[in-house]
Amino acid sequence: MIERATQDVVTPIPTSDGAGVLLRRSIATRTLDHLDPFFLFDHFGSEDAGDYIAGFPMHPHRGIETITYMLDGSVAHKDSLGNSGVIGTGDVQWMTAGSGILHEEMPRVGQRRLDGFQIWVNLPARLKMTRPRYQDVAAAAIPEVTRPDGARVRVVAGAVDGVEGAVKEIFAGPTYLDVALPAGGAFEQPVPRGHTALLYVFQGEVRVGGPGPGQGAAIGSPRLVVLTDGDVVRVHAGATPARFLLLSAQPLREPAVRYGPFVMNTRAEIEEALLDLRRGTFIRR
Ligand code: FE2
C-alpha cells in the first residue's frame, strides 16, 4: 500500500476568460498546460458582480468534458442540444462535449458571492466525436458522507465508504470529492494506482501524508496540489477548518492538441473543427 505524497504545489494564476470573467487558473497555464487527463482547472469566485457578469457567451467545445461545480451563486446555461437551466449552489453539471456543442454560461447576480469550479477532462481518441450529453445533478442528489471524526464529503463522482457519487459512467473513471475537515481533522481515501490525482485547497491549510516523518509541509489556500502515484491519500487539516477538492482520473497517454475550447489528437482535427464552425457544420447531432 503506497501512500500518495505531494509532488508539486501550484499557485493559481489570476486571469480573465469568456467576455471578461476574472478567475484563478491552475491548469491550462504557461507553467502547467495539463495534467493528463485534466486540461483545465478554473476557480471563479467574487463578491463583486462586475468580476463575472460578462459571463461566457455562446462558444463551442469539442473533444472534452467540462465539469462545473458551484459552491455558491448560480450560472444560467443554454446550448445547441436545446438544454437550458441554472446550475445553482451545490449543483454539478457534467457535460460531455464530444463531437461538438455550442453553449453559453452566464453567472447570475445574486444576494451572495459567486464561487465555483470548472474543470476540463480530455476524451480518448475513440470518444472525441461521441454524442454530446449532459448530466445535470442538483445539490440534493449529491450524496454526502459524514465520518465519525467529523469529515464531511460530498461525493460528486467516485465512491467514499461504499457510497457512490452522483455522476456515473464517465470514461476516465473519475473521483470528484468536496471534502470539509474540522480543525485538526483527517481524511483518508483510496485512489486507484496509476490515476492522476490532485487536491485543490480552497479553505484553511492541509498537510498531505503521515502523520509522522512522512507528512508534508503545510499547504495554504488557494493551492492546487499534484499528488505522486500510490493507492491512498491522507490529508490533515491545520488549526482551522479546511476544505478541498480531491480529483482523480485515468490518464489517456495520447497525443493532444489544444486550441481554445477544443482538445483533439491532431492539428488537422483542430483545423477541421474551425472549418466546421465557419461552414456551420460544427453541430453533428
Ligand atoms: Fe463552455
Domains of the chain, each with CATH number or no CATH:
6-279 (2.60.120.10)
| Centroid of ligand 1 to alpha carbon of 228 (angstroms) | 30
| Centroid of ligand 1 to alpha carbon of 79 (angstroms) | 10
**Cell for 207?**
498537510
| Centroid of ligand 1 to alpha carbon of 268 (angstroms) | 22
Is the model's pLDDT at 134 over the cut of 90? no
For residue 281, which amino acid is it?
Answer: T
Whether 138 contacts 167, CB under 8 Å: no
List pLDDT tens digits, range 65-110.
999 999 999 999 999 989 999 999 999 999 999 999 999 999 998 7
Look at the pTM and tell me if it is higher than 0.85.
Answer: yes
Is the model's pLDDT at 127 over the cut of 80? yes
Query: Which residue in the block uniquely carries the three cell numbers 490532485?
Result: 198
CB atoms within 10 A of CB 47: 11
Query: Which residue in the block uniquely carries the three cell numbers 474540522?
Result: 182
Burial class (CB in 10 A: 0-12, 13-18, 19+), 246: buried
* β-pair type (159-160, 186-190): unpaired
| Centroid of ligand 1 to alpha carbon of 216 (angstroms) | 36
| Centroid of ligand 1 to alpha carbon of 105 (angstroms) | 6
Q: Which of 149, 151, 135, 132 is nearest to 92 (CA)?
A: 135
| Centroid of ligand 1 to alpha carbon of 39 (angstroms) | 13
ω before 211 within 30° of 0 (cis)? yes
Kindly report the length of the chain: 285
Which residues on adjacent β-strands are paired with residue 163?
Answer: 160
CA 73 to chain centre: 17
| Centroid of ligand 1 to alpha carbon of 184 (angstroms) | 38
Q: How far apart are CA 70 and CA 20, in angstroms?
A: 19
| Centroid of ligand 1 to alpha carbon of 102 (angstroms) | 8
| Centroid of ligand 1 to alpha carbon of 279 (angstroms) | 21
| Centroid of ligand 1 to alpha carbon of 223 (angstroms) | 23
| Centroid of ligand 1 to alpha carbon of 82 (angstroms) | 15
Q: What confidence category does residue 182 fall into, taking pLDDT thresholds of 50, 70 and 90?
A: very high
HEC assignment per residue over 37-89: CEEEEEEEEECCHHHCCCCEEEEEEECEEEEEEEEECEEEEEECCCCEEEECC
| Centroid of ligand 1 to alpha carbon of 56 (angstroms) | 7
Q: How far apart are CA 94 and CA 52, in angstroms?
A: 21
Q: What confidence category does residue 214 fall into, taking pLDDT thresholds of 50, 70 and 90?
A: confident
| Centroid of ligand 1 to alpha carbon of 123 (angstroms) | 15
Burial class (CB in 10 A: 0-12, 13-18, 19+), 268: exposed
Q: How far apart are CA 110 and CA 75, in angstroms?
A: 10
Average pLDDT of the residues of the chain: 95
3-class DSSP state of 276: helix
List pLDDT tens digits, range 198-213.
999 999 999 999 888 7
| Centroid of ligand 1 to alpha carbon of 227 (angstroms) | 27
| Centroid of ligand 1 to alpha carbon of 60 (angstroms) | 7
| Centroid of ligand 1 to alpha carbon of 101 (angstroms) | 9
